[in-house]
Structure 1
Amino acid sequence: MRLKDRIAIVVGAGQSPGEGMGNGRATALTFAREGARVLCVDHRLESAQETVDMIAAKGGTAAAFRADVTKNAELKAMAEDTLSRWGRIDILHNNVGVSLAGGDAGLLDITEEALERCVAINLKSCIFAAKHVIPIMRKQQSGTIINISSMAAITTYPYVAYKATKAAMIAFTEQLAYQNAEYGIRANVILPGLMNTPMAVDTRAREFNKSRAEVEAERDAKVPLRRKMGTGWDVANAALFLASDEANFITGVTLPVDGGASVRRG
């Protein structure tokens, strides 16, 4: 019960259609298992409710909340709902992002519409979620924010918007950390590498007209550690550590969860 009696918001607690477990859902389940009460936020209420039902089946406490994360007013309502429901906010976990599904492309092919959509989902949502949670955490003199970026931010990646926005998320998290340390608030960012999640694998299978098994095999072969992608549970376990008191003296950190990909050179 490493998060006993904590109040957590997991933005992106539903998941994309496909096989397996997404990072956001795995994190919501992990936080609840460790004693937190979790507001499961997603743009598809039914998917958020599925996560809540999974938590409830294990004896945990959670509620579903629908929000379009590109809308500032809906993120404000999310923070207000959590505060009115449970009286405080201890953890904000931002786990939304799109690349191919948002129309991302290489520089010569990207459209204005796709760029604006990816920026709104990947970066704007993270900034405005923090904007509405930080005043509550400052009043409490405590809190932790965990943002999910991507190894795409610091390695080669072919598509413009995802790389740029995920890199910007690292800089924003560092800013959150140093501007809020005096209030007892910690902020850290996780960089997942190649993960076996519905968003990462099933989306590519659809986009490139391949079988899921083909996409899995191609991605597995690129991972140094055991030639096997990570799972949503790997990201969730890293988030649990950063949210817990075990990470009480850790803020402003960028943590790769990537099976060793970030140490490969050349």
Structure 2
Amino acid sequence: MRLKDKTAIIIGAGQSPGEGIGNGRATAIRFAQEGARVCCADRDLNSAEETAQLAGNGAFAIEADVTREASLAAALAEAVARFGRLDILHYNVGVSLAGGDAPPTEITEEAFDRVTAINLRGFVMAVKHALPIMRAQEGGVILSISSAAAVESYPYVAYKATKAAMLAVTEQVANQNAGHGIRCNTILPGLMDTPMAVDTRVRHTGKTRAEVAAERDAKVPLRRRMGTAWDVANAALFLASDEAGFITGVALPVDGGRLVQIG
């Protein structure tokens, strides 16, 4: 019960179509298992409701569009109205290929703006509306999902740029709000076996899921096997808990040693 009596909103608690479980859903379940009351926010309300049902412990779903500041503000306000406070904001949203991302010589303005709005601007706007709540409480935890792509070679420009920028925002928020007892950290997942990571590539490449998974597995030093959403969820659980009470401003790789191998 590491999050007993804590309240959390997970933005991106639904998941993309495909096999297995996504990071947001797994994190909502783990938070609830550890005693948190969870607001499951997602643009796909049906998917968020599925997550809330799986999580239990009073979890509820709400629709939120991360490309609209007003929608994010409303979701946070609803969480506070239901729970009376907000202990944890977890921004678990990201898009690359599905948003039209491409190499630098092929990216379009529309695709760059779309990926930036979802990955980066949405995070900044969510933080904007969470900070006054947490400052008034004199405490809180802000988490996000960046990516190992932020610091390693990655072929598509918008995803890499936005995920790298999230590291800078994390450090800024951590530095400026430490005096309020607010911690801010981000997670860098490596090659993960999730619907967003694997099944999206299946749809875009025409390869089978087994082929895409095998190619990704081969690149992971630890056991030559991708991580799962549960690995990310457990990292988020630790960072959200009081066990990480002296940790702020960090980017935690969850990547099976891939970044160590790259150096």
**TM-score range for the pair, normalised by the shorter chain length:** over 0.9
Q: Secondary structure at the match of 2:10?
A: strand
1:225 to 2:222 alignment: yes
2:154 aligned partner, one-letter code: Y
Cα displacement string for residues 113-157 of structure 1 (whole angstroms, at most 9, x for unaligned residues): 000000000000100001001100000001000110000000000
Give distance in 1, aligned partners of 2:233 and 2:58.
18
Two-structure CA RMSD over aligned residues (Å): 0.7
State the partner residue of 1:76.
Answer: 73
The answer (yes or no) to whether the contact 2:152–2:262 under 8 Å persists in 1 is no
State the partner residue of 2:2.
Answer: 2
Per-residue deviation, 1:53: 1.0
Per-residue deviation, 1:79: 1.1
Alignment gaps of 5+ in structure 2: none
Per-residue deviation, 1:232: 0.2
Give distance in 2, aligned partners of 1:10 and 1:157.
27
State the partner residue of 1:27.
Answer: 27
Per the normalisation by structure 1, the TM-score is 0.98
1:31 aligned partner, one-letter code: F
State the partner residue of 2:152.
Answer: 155
In structure 2, which of residues 145, 158, 182 is the aligned counterpart of residue 185 of structure 1?
182
In structure 2, which of residues 93, 97, 114 is the aligned counterpart of residue 96 of structure 1?
93
1:222 aligned partner, one-letter code: K
Per-residue deviation, 1:67: 0.8
Per-residue deviation, 1:265: 3.5
Count, aligned residues: 263
Give distance in 2, aligned partners of 1:51 and 1:164.
30
Per-residue deviation, 1:85: 0.9
1:21 aligned partner, one-letter code: I
Runs of 4+ in 1 over 2 A off after TM superposition: none
Alignment gaps of 5+ in structure 1: none
State the partner residue of 1:212.
Answer: 209
2:172 aligned partner, one-letter code: Q
State the partner residue of 2:50.
Answer: 50
Q: Secondary structure at the match of 2:59?
A: strand
The answer (yes or no) to whether the contact 2:27–2:234 under 8 Å persists in 1 is yes
State the partner residue of 1:139.
Answer: 136
State the partner residue of 2:237.
Answer: 240
**Percent identity, aligned pairs only?**
67
2:76 aligned partner, one-letter code: A
Give distance in 2, aligned partners of 1:61 and 1:146.
21
